[in-house]
Amino acid sequence: MGKDIQVYTALDAKVRPAERLDILLLSTEGAAPMRTYTSLEEIQRDFSGKKVAAMAERMFHQSHSLAGALIRKVRIAGIEAPQDVEETEDSEACTKAEGLVKALEDVRDMDDSFYFLLTDVTDEACVTALCAWAENTEPNEAALGAGVEDHRKFYFGQVSSKSYSNTYGRSAVIYSDNPEKEWADAAWVGCTGPFWPEGVTWKWKT
């Protein structure tokens, strides 16, 4: 007869932070310089009432994870909300998705030392543009051979459509019927991200 597995957890055990993940949470609710945060309270103070604070809360509150450490360190940067821009005599037309990617590249010009990207946008056009952007961050062999620094990224997003299909690499998109309440992408990264690559399956975590 098999024996039950018993797991004992000290209620006052201190959380060990996962330090190796370079996560950027990008807010589209106002410009803010990139800053590293190690406290949820600081994030809630600086981004009170904003979506990125809710994302961080979901990411940090994954104590049920079996990972040996939990995420307690993220970078956050803010940009103005991208909008569709009509063509004028002085500028070309630009879609909201194109504006988002351009603003993200401007952030990279100032600080490119992040790997995971999550944002507070959930519309499919922007999500698709970010998936394509992430795939294009991977340098080819010729570029690497020429000494180009490898700053490839990975984008994790969410949409509210079950029929959405992501065809790009270096990205993952999750379905949520209420994305701006659940922030399932942030919760998923918080639960599974601290594990070493191939240390745990990312499936069946919802």
Lowest mean pLDDT among 18-22, 104-108, 189-193: 18-22
The pLDDT-based confidence of 82 (bands split at 50, 70, 90) is very high
Whole-number percent of the chain with pLDDT over 70: 79
Q: What count of other Cβ atoms lies within 10 Å of the Cβ of residue 157?
A: 24
Residue 195 pLDDT: 55
| pLDDT band, residue 18 (cuts 50/70/90) | very low
The residue with tokens 């294009």 is 136
DSSP string for 33-48: EEEEE--HHHHHHHTT
* 3-class DSSP state of 164: coil
| pLDDT band at 16; cut points 50, 70, 90 | very low
pLDDT digits (tens, 9 = 90+) for 151-161: 889 999 999 99
Reading the block at residue 90, the tokens are: 């002085």
Beta strand pairing status for 74-78 and 32-37? Answer: antiparallel
pLDDT tens per residue, range 86-144: 888 788 899 999 999 999 999 999 999 899 999 999 999 999 999 999 999 988 777 67
